[in-house]
Chains A and B, each alone.
Chain A
Amino acid sequence: MAWIKLDPITRRRFARFRKIKRGYYALLILLAAMVLSIFAPFLAESRALMVSYQGKWYFPTFSYVSMAAFQQTPPPGWQAVDLETDYFRLQREWRLERTLYERARAQTGSDAAALDAKYPNRGNYVVMPVIPWDPYQSDFWYNEILNDVGVLLKADDRIGAANLARRDHLDELADAIESGAIDDMLKDPTRSASGTLSGLAQGGTMPSLKDLTKTAPNPPDSHRAHYLGTDTQGRDVASRLLYGFRISIFFSLFLVIAGQVIGTFIGSLQGYFGGVFDIISQRAIEIIVSIPFLYVVIILAALIVPNFWMLLTIMALFQWIGITFYMRTEMYREKTKEYCLAAKSYGASHMRIIFRHLLPNCLTPLVTFTPFLVVGAIFSLTALDYLGYGLPAPTPSWGEMIDQALDAQNRTKLWLTFAPFTAITVTLLVVTFIGESVREAFDPKQYAKYE
C-alpha cells in the first residue's frame, strides 16, 4: 500500500485485519464477486461474447444484431418479423452443420466442392457466456420445440424437421424422422393419443421427450444450459441470481455509503457544536426515528413505482440516523483534546477542524459498523422485494425469487428454494465475517499493551 499515504494507526489496523484470515479471505471473496458482478454481461447474457462469421469477428454483447446479419432462419411463423439473433440457437445450428459436414466428408466418394457449397456455415463459431441467458428472458423452448418440428413435418420438410430435432439434442426423435418411423408412431394411438408430437411425448414411449411435457419452472438442465433451473416464468435462475447479487450488493453499498456520509456529517456537527443545536437536532432525529420505515415505503410504493435510485433515496432517508449517535459522542470526546484547541487558536475554520482534524480520529465506529449495515441493507431490500414493495418486476431480485420459492405450488421445486437461500446465506455470512474482523482489528484494547 505504498502508493497511498496511511497514518500509522490505520496501517497497524490494516495489518491486524490481514492477520485475521477469515475476514481477509471473506473480503477478497466479496470483492471478487463484486468485480465479477460488474462484468455480469460477460458471464450471463443471451447475446454471444464473440461470433466468428465468414472469417470476421463480431462482439455483440452490447448491441442489437438482427437475424439477417448472420442469415439465421427465423422460427416457423416468424419469417416476416425483424428478430434479434438467437445466439444460443445459432451456436447449435452451426455446430449441427459442422457435424453433418464432417459426417458427409467421411462417406466414400464425397464431392468436396458440393459439400462446401451445401454447408457454408461450417466454419462459423459462436462463443456464448458461461450462462447463455439474460435475467429477463423466458425460455419457451420446452413448449415450442415439438410444435416447430411438427410444423416442418406437416410441410413434409423431413430433413429440416430432423435437423431441428438434432440441433437441440433430441436425437431419438431425429432418428425416427430420418428413418420414417415417425409416421407409424404418430398413427399408433397407444403411442400418441392425439396423433401429434406432443401426444407422443405425453405417451411416454419416447423417454427423451419426457422433459418437454413439463411447464416452467423447470429443474436444472444442462442441454438448455439452465444450471440452476428456471423460475415460474421460464427465466434462468442462475442468471437472475447473478444479476440479483449485483443489484443487492451495489444497492446496499450505495445506501450505506449515502447514509454514513449524511449521518457522519450531521453527527459530527451535533457533537462539535453541542449546545442548543445538539438538543434541537437530537429531538428532530427522535421524531424521524419514530416514523415506521416500512409503512412509509409501502405507502410510497403504492403511489409511485419506485425505481432503483428512488428506492435508494427513500431508504437513505432512514439509514443515516444510526451513525449520528456514535459520531456525536466521538466528537464530544475528541473536541476536548488540546490539538483541537490548538487548531482554534490559529484560526482554523469550524469545518476544517471537524473534517481535517477531528474526523480522522473518529472513524472507528464508522468503519466497524459499515459491514453490519451492509448486511442489514441487503436483508431489508430482500425483505421489501419479498413483500412486493421493493424494486419493480421484472428486476432480478433475491426477494422475488424467495417469494416464488415459498409459493405453495412450488414447494417441491427445490432448486427455486436452494438458489436464493444459499446465495443470501453465503453473502450475509461473508459480509458478517468481514465486519467481525474489522471490529476485532479496530479493537482499541489491542494497543493497550506494548509491542
Chain B
Amino acid sequence: MSNTSKTPLLRVEGLKKYYPVRGGVFAAKVGDVRAVDDVSFTVAPGETLGLVGESGCGKSTLGRTIMRLEEPTAGHVYFEGNDIATANKSALFQLRREIQAVFQDPYSSLNPRMTIGEIVREPLVVHKVGSKAEQIEAVRALLETVGLTGEMLDRYPHEFSGGQRQRIGVARALALGPKLVIADEPVSALDVSVRSQILNLMVRLQRERNLAYIFISHDLSVVEHISDSIAIMYLGRIVEIGPAAEVFAKPAHPYTRVLMAAIPVADPDQRRTTEPLKGEPPSPVAPPPGCPFHPRCAYAIDACRAAVPPLEPVKAGAPNLELGREHLAACIRKHEI
C-alpha cells in the first residue's frame, strides 16, 4: 500500500497529446483533438495506478504517450529521473527495457505468423540479451511463470484461448524484466471467468517482481481490487486522483460519483440513489468552456463555465506535493456536494 517515503518511479508532468484536425482548402489545420490535456501524476515502485474513464476519454492515448509510442505535444515523462518525452533514440531504446505494455485485444496483440516462442523471445532478440540458447531457456521460464508450459514454445497463437493468449502477452511484457508495466484494458476482452485468473496472475507477478502497474480500464470494479491509487479521466484530463481507498470511500468529483453509482451491486432490493449519467461526452475537438464535465453535471453552477478547475486537495491541510499520494479533485464545489 502507499508509502510516502518511496521516490516515484514514474513522474508525469503536464503531458499533452493533441491531434491536429485538418479540413477545408489545402487541408489547413482547423483545430485540435485534445486527447490528453495537461495530465500529471506519479507512480511509485511496486504500486498500481488505476486509470479509469469512459471510452474516448484519452486513457489509452495517455498510456501510449507515456511509452512514447505517440509523440507528446508537450510535457515530461520522468522515469527514474530520465525524461522519456525528450530522450534521444539510443536513450529511448534503453528506457524501453524498463517500461513494457500488455494490450487489450489478445487476438490482435500476438502475431499470427510467429510461434509463441518467437513472440516472447522477440524483445530479447531486439535487445540482444544473451545467446540464442539462453533466450529460449528464458522464454521457457517466462511461460512457466505465467502458468503455461515450456512445451508450448512451438505452437501458434490460434491454438490458444483468449485467457492463454493474454498470459502470453504478459510473458512478452516481462521478457526484458521491466519495472513498469502499462496494462491497457488487459481483461476487458476476456470472459468474466478468466478475468480474475489474469488479475490474480498480475497481482502475483507484481509481488514477486516488485512491478509497478498503470492499469487502464473503463471498469471501476476491476480497478478497485488491484489499485493502490486511482486516477479518473474525463475528456483528456484527470478530474480526480488519490489513494484507492479514499477515492472509493469518499469520491469528491461528481463524475466519480456517477461512475461509482454505475457499478452493479449484487442486491436486487437496493435502489439507485444517484441519477445515471445522461448524454454523451462532449467532443474533444471543441471542449466546453470551463469544467469539461459541466454540461452533464447535476451540480453545475455559472462559475463552473468560467474556468477549468484545478486539481486541489480534497481535505484541508498542508498540501502534499506527491501527486497520487493525496486525494485531489478538479471541482470547485467539491467541499459543498
Contact = CB atoms under 8 A, between A and B. Distances in A.
A346 B111 contact: no
A337 B126 contact: no
Interface in B175-230: 175-176
B44 interface: no
Interface residues of A, number: 19
Given A338-B105, A347-B92, A348-B122, A361 B69 contact: no
Given A8-B158, A341-B69, A347 B127 contact: yes
B96 A9 contact: no
B110 A346 contact: no
A337 B108 CA distance: 6
A361 B113 contact: yes
Contacts of B110: 339
A342 B109 contact: yes
B172 interface: yes
Contacts of A347: 92-93, 96-97, 126-127
Given A338-B109, A339-B111, A352-B126, A345 B156 contact: no
Between A338, A346, A348, the greatest number of chain B beta carbons within 10 A of the residue's beta carbon is seen for A346
Contact of B126 (A339, A341, A348): A348
Interface in A315-340: 337-339
- Chain B residues touching A, range: 20 to 34
A344 interface: yes
A7 B123 contact: no
A140 B61 CA distance: 82
A360 B113 contact: yes
B104 interface: yes
Nearest to A349: B126
Contact of A345 (B96, B115, B158): B96
B156 A7 contact: yes
Interface string B154-188: 00101000000000010010011000000000000
Interface string B85-125: 00000001100110111011100111111110001001100
A159 interface: no
B330 interface: no
A399 to B, nearest CB: 41
Nearest to B69: A344
B67 interface: yes
A8 B100 CA distance: 28
Interface in A264-292: none
A347 B90 CA distance: 10
Given A345-B96, A346-B100, A338 B112 contact: no
A9 B158 CA distance: 10
Given A7-B113, A345-B100, A347-B93, A338 B126 contact: no
Nearest to B172: A342
A9 B112 contact: yes
Interface of A: 7-9, 337-339, 341-349, 352, 357, 360-361
22 contacts: A7-B113, A338-B103, A338-B104, A338-B109, A339-B110, A341-B69, A341-B101, A342-B103, A342-B109, A345-B99, A346-B97, A346-B123, A346-B126, A347-B93, A347-B96, A347-B97, A347-B126, A347-B127, A352-B126, A360-B111, A360-B114, A361-B112
The 10 closest A-B pairs by CB, nearest first: A338-B109, A346-B123, A347-B96, A360-B113, A338-B103, A339-B111, A337-B108, A345-B101, A347-B93, A338-B108
